[in-house]
Structure formats: structure tokens, C-alpha cells
Structure 1
Amino acid sequence: MKQHTLLHIAAIITIGLSACSKQLDEVDPNTKIAYSQLNQNNLPLLINGAKLSLTNNNAFYLYYAMQDIMSDDFQSLTFPNYEGNNIPSNDGTVATVYKQPYQCIANANVVIQYAPQFPGDSNVTAALGEAYLLRAFSYMILTESFGDVVIVNGTEDPKSHPARNPLAEVNQQIEADLKNAADRLPAYTNSTIGSKQSAQLLLARFYLNQGRNDEALTMANNVISSGKFSLQSNFGDIFKSSVNSSEAVYKVNETSTSTNYGMPAVYGQGGTGQAGSGNTWADSMLVKSYEPADIRRSFFVRTKGASILDSVYFLSKFPQELTPSYVVCRYSEAFLIVAEANARKGVVDVTTYNQLRSARKASTINNTDFANPAAFLAAIEQERRREFIGERLRWSDMKRFGKINDWLASFGQPTSHVLMPLPSRDLFINPNLAQNADYSR
């Protein structure tokens, strides 16, 4: 279900559930039901509604990619404000980054409020677990983009003008939601369904970004030891909506009207039969860092773009499909989290690093190849770039590896531009929302 009554954080509106029994998960349902008409049979469909809210009928690619374009992995003529790390507050895409996660949160909140009425119902419990998972992921998007944000639980006065909650409070909610998800979700069976392992892997990512390395290690090792996944040679299958790849731990799919939507619309080379503008390309030094036999190297196309005189490298691992697929977390991340968390604890252990490299047909290394943990961390950072390019992880990585301030300075931008501006429309509606530093209202 796509929630027909939107929950704007600037002026919170009471949640109205738009649906009929067969169309509860439609984007534009033609009937509405009251909260009191929910039951345990249609409740799981609200999870589909939360996912539709997150994707907003082919909008997810517009904000899934933006922080990667801000990073050192890409250059873009199509998105100059993001490329230059100086986004105006009236930018349409930044408004989408802000609004769509809150729409997902609104649907998740309904499930979280309603599900406790049916203790012991396994289907309802699973829906509740995925609601916590999606709410946590939505808040992760919001905090990574904006820092302090308003926490919404669905019980607020619709006429209130809430101020932003401190980041520490939002992080507490993210952690609690992911723990609740891990406790309620079943073990992995399909990448399009929330699982215990998807919550654990997002927790591992969350802990790593928080510098809580022991906890990151525990969660990542839980995913690896679950026996539910395996590293595969068919790398491209991870990103196909029609394939339940054993490497895709959790992904969100959406149905579009054209194969020109999704990630190829951002990163594609353009031209006849090819999605994209041909104006957003990968960093050439990064592409050249792949070894010749590395299976990931083949997922770049070197050609001229629409407005580019020289041949450049376009990322092609995201297929053109009528059902674009967005990977939220995948198995290889657990391997690199284990390696990084150990290194940040002062331990050089190349075991999981080599396991991933071997699966990608790249050379392996020895512990003694690194003079110290800092040298190993540098190798891990580069491996993360090769593995996750285009998957909205690089911006957080640049912060964690201490690269972000120099990167912003290279564009003449203040360090506060590590965050995006809040949309000017929301600031106008809610005077209690303060703008992020060094942006205008």
C-alpha cells in the first residue's frame, strides 16, 4: 500500500489508511479503511505499502544515488549541485530524500502500533519485525543525509510543529528498532523479505559507523555463521530483481513503467536502447584498480558520454529492468565489516578480506603484507569502494575513514556540508525546524 494520506514531518498529519482488501498495497487505492478495520490478514500488506512509500513510484533511484555522486566515486554533469557538495534548499531531489523515508515510517508505525494485538501470530510477528527494519533503515537514510531529524511514532498531535531530535536520540531509536527486528524476524529465505540476518547486518553497519567495533564484529559474524548465504561468481545476479541471489541479504524492488528507471537512469551511458544521460561516470582510477581477472571489472563500460569528449567508465552492474531492484544490504558487507572492525581494534586478520577477494577472482594477501593495522585499513577502504560502488555506502565510508573534510574543502565547501540542507518548503511550514549550518532557509 502506498499511504494515500501523506505524513509530512513539517506539519504532521494523522495517519489515514488507504486501501481495500485487495488493494491495500496499491499506490493509488480507490477506497479507504479506518484503523479499526485492520486485521491480521491485511496487516502484512502494509509492509508492501511501506516499501512503495520508500520507492514512491520510481523515485528511489533519485535519492539512493545522491550521496555517491557527492563522493569521490563519481563525477556528474547531470547533478552539479551534488557533485559540488553545495545543494540549494529548494532542490527537488533533496525534498524527495527528506519526504519519502518519512512516508515509509508512517506505514511502519501503523504496523508497530497494531501488531501487538495479535501475540503469537507468526505472520503478524514477521510483519512487525519488517516494520521495525524498514523504520530503522528509513531513519538511517534521514540521519546520514540530514543529521538531527524529528522522531515520529504516529501518535503525535497533527497540528504540532516538532523540533528536530538530537542525532543521539535518533540513533537510539535506530538501534532499538533493529534489535526488535532481529528478535521478531524469521531466518532468511528470500532477499525481498526482511529476515533476522538483514537486521543483524544493518546493525553491524550501524555499529561500525558508531565506532562500536566489538558489537559490529558480533553482528557481522552472526550473519556469516548463519549458513544462509554464500559468495557467488555470478556477481551481476545480486542486482537483478528476478533472481534470489544468495548474496543479496535484503533488497527493495519496485515496479516501473519503463526500463529507463532505476539505477541505470543515473549511471547509464545513454544512447540507443541504453538508460541514463551519459553524464555521470565512475572515477577512472578506481576502475583501473581492479585486477584484470576481477569479475567486478566487467561491470563497467568505457565509452563517450552525451557531453563528454573523452571516453569514460560507466557503471553497468545495475540491469535495466521493469522492476528495478535496490540492495539494502548484502553478504559481502559482513566480510569487510569483520576485517575492518578487527583492524580498528589493532588486529590485522586478512581471513574474511581474502575470502571476498577470492570469490571475486582477485589476488589474496598475507597478514605480514601490512606494516600495521592502518595500512590494512587503507586496503579495506579501497576494497569497499570496488565492492560497493553505486550502493550508497561511500559517503558514510568517507566519514568513517576521515576523508570527508578534505574532500569538501577541495570544492571550497565547509565541513558542515557533509549534511544536505533541509528542504525549504518544510522549513516554511514548520518554523521550529532549524536549517543545517551554512545553508540558507
Structure 2
Amino acid sequence: MKQHTLLHIAAIITLGLSACSKQLDEVNPNTKIAYSQINKNNLPLLINGAKLALTNNNSFYSYYGLQDIMSDDFQSLSYTTYESNNIASNDNTLGPVYKQPYQCIANANIAIRYAQQFPGDSSISAALGEALLLRAFSYMLLTESFGDVVIVNGGEDPKNRPARNPVAEVNQLIETDLKNAIDQLPVYTNALSASKQSAQLLLARFYLNRGRNDEALTMANNVISAGKFTLQSNFADIFKSSVNSPEAVYKINETSISTFYGLPNLYGQGGTGQAGFGNTFADSNLVKSYEPADIRRSYFVRTKGASILDSVYFLSKFPQELTPSYVICRYSEAFLIVAEANARKGTVDVTTYNQLRSARNASTVNNADFATPAAFLAAIEQERRREFIGERLRWSDMQRFGKINTWLQSFGQPITHVLMPLPSREFFINPNLSQNADYSK
């Protein structure tokens, strides 16, 4: 167990105002057409291009899990500076953490700009809603990693070199986008398309992390009461790209590439026929906290890794597929948000906590088992670790549960290292940027 910044504005305008090709869902179009040639029929392709921007060059897995490696859920011999919470600003892995969300935002901005010309047009409301959701999610990725970031609306002067917007301003944009997405999006039919429920669940997460528990409770309960999802025993299906699992609320698939990419590559044990570096492994105490019959317990493999002499636990719940899949939000999160929001409001109510544990074949509890809401919150925190390991939620959880400062100090790092440094290359592009505290440019 372990003891933007900004893309070059000109590049954004290239992606944005001229934005497309004969195949608008290509991230790097080779035949550009004018913004005026975007129409209602090809708008969904532009939305797909925004999704592909997040996963461009099959890079999503390489930055999706970095905060989990920084946390107490994993140890890694491959990402040592993240493991030690002391990231160098010139680290090659850091670039996509910053760059890819902004590429998604650039495409989403174009779609939003186009769709807003036709207020009330139901034929494009779903596309507008998904663009709003993707922009909000991208800014969530950026602020969680870097804190203050530049808000890009599209159409900026390419000679302008803006400073970073305060987190409060970015959070306001995220909240507004998700609220507007809820109004525009249809109810859930398929996890590969954004839905009203996916925007509600992301907003519930956003509110929970801001301490706005009443609002988090409302949004999470809306997802549960929609009647569109079910907790199921076939846990592995949630993470399969080709299965429309009733637990996956929203997911993004990469382009088909190789079975040796995606999250199995980050967390896998490696070896013959197996994806993975074999150098990033789960906290053994966490793995041992699963009850023997818990279906989630079987998704760990105890073996030796590439450079590890002792047997350790590798996470195997992400399947090796030609099309790697990333579940952005899933149904079980709503159940634990309800339990946590109630506890933070002073009420111990184990109903949704038990519903999730029953679905995972784990034992249930009674309200009387917890002397205080704080005791129940400790159980919820541990349940979130068991449920969401490897899904990029632990770092925010450690902050919300008051664990982050002690964790950073145990590595001899300042508490400001809760954030990553801005990539050093960004300061050559925009000299008006400032670096995060206790990092060098």
C-alpha cells in the first residue's frame, strides 16, 4: 500500500470555424469546409468528432487513470511522478490531460453555436444537448486536474493570449451547460448517446463535490426514479463497448485499434496474450476488503507483474476489446450519491447503500449499525472505492472525505499538489499563463 491553459487559439479556430471535412467525425480533417456548410444532417457527426477528440491517438486511457494512480487505490512503477504526487511540468504524459479536453471543447463549441441558431428545433435538440454535456465534462476534466483554466467560447482572436479563468467561473459554465443539456436531451435509450439521465448524474456528481447536497440528492433521485436502468449481477457487461448494459448511463468508445490499448493496458498484468504494462496494481488492503461472495472481488488477478517480484493484485474489470470503452457515469453512482448526500445532511438511511450491495452479492446493514452519520460516511467512502476503482473518481473522493492533505504530506509534497502542473509547452504558446503553485514552468 502506498505511504490551459489553452491550446493555441489558432488551432482551436482551425478545428472550429472551418471545423469539418467530408467526414465531420474525424478529429484531424484533411478536407476542410466552411462553417456555413454544417447542416442538421451532419451535425451528429460533429458531435462524434467531439467524442473522438477526447480519445484522439488512443490517448484517453493514458490520462483517464492518472489521478487514480495519484490516489491510494493504486501503486505504479510506470508513472512514478504521479505515484509520488510530484509531477514534472515537462512530463510527456501530461500533455494529453490538457490538450484532449480542449479539442473536445472546440468541436462542441461549433455544434453549440450552430444549434443555437434554431431555438426550439426538436430535430437537433439531442445533438445540442450532447454537445453541452461533452463541453461540461471536458471542463470538469480540466478543472479537476489543473484548477483555473481558460474558458474558450470559439471565435477568439488568434492573437489573444488569455489568462486562466477562476475555477468559480468555470464551474458556473459547467453547471449551466449541464442544466441546459438536461432540457435538451431525450430520456435514456443507449449508453453511447447522451441522455437526460446522463446529464443529471454528472450534475449530481458536480453538486456532491461542491457540498451542495440537497441538489445532488435531487439529481441522483431523478436518475433512479426514471426507471430506465437496473443494477445487475453481470458486472463485466457494464464496461464492454458492444453491450448496452442497463447500468451504463453514458460511455465513450475509442476507435477500433488493438486489444492492447485502453484501460486494460493501464491496469493489466501483461504477459502472453494479456494487455498491460504489469506495473500498476491495486491496493491490497482494498482488494481484501471485498467479501468473498462479492461479485466485484473476482475482477482482480493476483500474479507477478513485468518488474514486480512479489504477487500483487491487478484490476481486470475492463475487458480487452478492439474498441476500448470508457464509462463516464453509471447507475450505481446515483445510489451512493443518495446515501452520501443524506448522511452529509445528518441522516443515516441505508436504503440505496443496501440496494447496491445486494446487487453485488455483498451483505447488507441496518441504520442502527451506524452510531453517527460520520460512521456511515466512512462506510460509504469505502464502498465507493470498491465500486469505482479505476474509474477516475477516487481523487475527488479523497478531497471530499478530507483525506487529501494528509495523503500528500505523507509523500512530503505540499497540499497544492492536489492539482497537476500545467504542461510546460503551454507557456511558449501563451506567455500570459501562470503555473500552479509549487511547480516550475
1:57 counterpart SS class: helix
In the other structure, the counterpart of 1:51 is: 51
**Inter-partner Cα distance in structure 1 for 2:183 and 2:118:** 16
**How far apart are 1:256 and its partner, in Å?**
3.2
1:243 counterpart SS class: coil
1:388 aligns with 2:404: no
Show the 5 A alignment for 1:394-433. 394-433=394-433
Contact conserved, 1:61 with 1:262, CA < 8 A, in 2? Answer: yes
Show the 5 A alignment for 1:162-177. 162-177=162-177
1:132 aligns with 2:136: no
In the other structure, the counterpart of 2:332 is: 332
In the other structure, the counterpart of 1:190 is: 190
**How far apart are 1:44 and its partner, in Å?**
1.4
Show CA shifts across 1:231-287 (max 9, x none): 000000000000000000000001132110100110000000001111000000000
Number of residue-to-residue matches in the alignment: 434
**Inter-partner Cα distance in structure 2 for 1:295 and 1:121:** 45
Show CA shifts across 1:187-209 (max 9, x none): 00000000000000000000000
In the other structure, the counterpart of 2:376 is: 376
In the other structure, the counterpart of 2:319 is: 319
Show the 5 A alignment for 1:199-238. 199-238=199-238
**How far apart are 1:28 and its partner, in Å?**
4.3
Show the 5 A alignment for 1:236-251. 236-251=236-251
Greater mean deviation of Cα atoms: 86-95 or 390-399: 86-95
Contact conserved, 1:265 with 1:276, CA < 8 A, in 2? Answer: yes
Contact conserved, 1:57 with 1:255, CA < 8 A, in 2? Answer: no
Contact conserved, 2:68 with 2:394, CA < 8 A, in 1? Answer: yes
Equivalent residue letter for 1:430:
N
Equivalent residue letter for 2:373:
P
Structure 2 unaligned runs (5+)? none
Structure 1 unaligned runs (5+)? 1-6
2:58 counterpart SS class: coil
Percent identity over the alignment? Answer: 80
**Inter-partner Cα distance in structure 1 for 2:263 and 2:293:** 25
Contact conserved, 2:350 with 2:366, CA < 8 A, in 1? Answer: yes
In the other structure, the counterpart of 2:7 is: 9
Greater mean deviation of Cα atoms: 10-19 or 92-101: 10-19
**Inter-partner Cα distance in structure 2 for 1:137 and 1:358:** 30
2:151 counterpart SS class: coil
**Inter-partner Cα distance in structure 2 for 1:121 and 1:115:** 8
**How far apart are 1:16 and its partner, in Å?**
4.1
2:313 counterpart SS class: strand
In the other structure, the counterpart of 1:41 is: 41
Normalising by the residue count of structure 1, what TM-score does the alignment of the two structures yield? 0.97
Equivalent residue letter for 1:190:
N
1:313 counterpart SS class: strand
Greater mean deviation of Cα atoms: 250-259 or 374-383: 250-259
Equivalent residue letter for 2:323:
T
1:256 aligns with 2:256: yes
1:424 counterpart SS class: coil
Contact conserved, 1:133 with 1:178, CA < 8 A, in 2? Answer: yes
**How far apart are 1:92 and its partner, in Å?**
1.4
In the other structure, the counterpart of 1:359 is: 359
Contact conserved, 2:147 with 2:419, CA < 8 A, in 1? Answer: yes
1:232 counterpart SS class: coil
1:272 aligns with 2:303: no
In the other structure, the counterpart of 1:4 is: none
**Inter-partner Cα distance in structure 1 for 2:436 and 2:30:** 39
**Inter-partner Cα distance in structure 1 for 2:396 and 2:281:** 20
Normalising by the residue count of structure 2, what TM-score does the alignment of the two structures yield? 0.97
